Amino acid sequence: MTFLSITSLTVASVPLLPVHAAQLTSRSITVGSSAPSASTTHKFDFTIPASANLGSATFTYCTTASGTCTAPTGLDVDGVSISAQSGATGFSVDATTTTANVIGITRTAAAASGAVSYTFSTAVNPSATNTTFYARIQTYTAANFTGAQDSGAVATSTAAQIQVTASVDETLTFCTGTSGITTSSCSGATGTSVNLGSLTPSTTGSGVSQIGVSTNAGLGYNITVNGTTLASGANNITALATQTASSQGSSQFGINLRDNATPNVGTDPDGSGTATPTANYNTVDQFRFVTADQIASKASADNFRRYHVSYIANVAGDTPAGTYTSTLTYIATATF
């Protein structure tokens, strides 16, 4: 008796993977802002491990790097556009594939390998603070998102924004002296007396004092001079009511804030500030003294400014002998 043995062979169906499928390397995502719900850029960098056709790619945002994909709450990439690309170029966003948590890009398939980069603008971050989220990258050999090739995941996170605050108080720096004030500081200011020397009809007495000032007042500052002319008892030397040149043999007392030649006294304002003397005290070799006059000003905040107040005094032949003195008060007023 002959027996015929028949053996049945069952072959399981196994999906064929692309030959070159591998992990993308050197992959990262850089966000323009980590603030929750920020509309910002998402920049993907990765390296394609081997040369193969590249026609499309997806970037799928999930709360985990693998497994079932749950879209991060608040994330929205449906309206992104490519603002920069390098390495393998020619891509555009595919509107059909792109959703709230998936970006799809496509081009005419062409060989690609090595480092590539894609930057997407107006991506909206997840709304949760200090929360990590992931993007799963998948490349395809065809332009229609078929022929799955290389893949890999990247991670980034939202972060709480740190608000740094500081206050700047209203300030006014002001000082007077006869020396020691520098172009940047009042710290060395010293001296309260200016000696104009012995006055005769053929000589002019002169001297200098200093003023330093700075302020952050939005409307700036002004400086006034207050006091009386040189006097000895009931006798006095005439204050110059208008800008006048020094004239020996005449009764004169005046000031300005300039570097003068006749007589040779004073220095022009200096320092990093830009304020200037007012017109009545800003002409070389022209002097004036009227109490309560504004002698310098700036209509906005200003850095440190040093002024040199030049004093001159002349006497007539009939000016009575005596010791002549004047006490002047300089006042700085800042307007905030």
Give 163-212 pLDDT, tens digit per residue. 999 999 999 999 999 999 999 999 999 999 999 999 999 999 999 999 99
Average pLDDT score over residue span 117-143:
98
**Residue 304 near residue 273, CB atoms below 8 Å:** yes
Dihedral angle sign, alpha carbons of residues 34, 37, 43, 45: positive
Would you place residue 139 in the very low, low, confident or very high pLDDT band (cuts 50, 70, 90)? Answer: very high
Kindly tell me the burial class for residue 17, based on how many C-beta atoms sit within 10 Å of its own C-beta (0-12, 13-18, 19 or more).
Answer: exposed
Residue 131, φ and ψ in degrees, nearest 5 = -125, 130
Output the CA torsion 100→102→107→108 (10° steps).
-130
pLDDT, position 20 = 53
- CA angle (298 as vertex; 295, 301 as ends), nearest 5: 140
Q: Which domains does the chain have, with CATH numbers?
A: 25-157 (2.60.40), 172-334 (2.60.40)
Give 64-103 pLDDT, tens digit per residue. 999 999 999 999 999 999 999 999 999 999 999 999 999 9
Tell me what percent of the residues of the chain surpass a pLDDT of 70: 94
pLDDT, position 16 = 37
Would you place residue 50 in the very low, low, confident or very high pLDDT band (cuts 50, 70, 90)? Answer: confident
Alpha-carbon span 242 to 205, nearest angstrom:
19
pLDDT, position 51 = 86
Give the predicted TM-score (pTM) of the model. 0.69
pLDDT, position 21 = 75
pLDDT, position 237 = 98
**Residue 149 near residue 139, CB atoms below 8 Å:** yes
Query: What's the distance, CA 220 to chain centroid?
Result: 22
Q: Given a cut of 50, is residue 10 above it in pLDDT?
A: no
Would you place residue 4 in the very low, low, confident or very high pLDDT band (cuts 50, 70, 90)? Answer: very low
Q: Given a cut of 50, is residue 14 above it in pLDDT?
A: no
**Residue 327 near residue 208, CB atoms below 8 Å:** no
Average pLDDT score over residue span 2-7:
30
Q: Given a cut of 90, is residue 12 above it in pLDDT?
A: no
19-23, 34-38, 292-296, range with the lowest pLDDT = 19-23
Give 201-258 pLDDT, tens digit per residue. 999 999 999 999 999 999 999 999 999 999 999 999 999 999 999 999 999 999 999 9
Give 263-298 pLDDT, tens digit per residue. 999 999 999 999 999 999 999 999 999 999 999 999
| Token couple for 44 | 């993907």
pLDDT, position 55 = 98
Q: Given a cut of 80, is residue 11 above it in pLDDT?
A: no
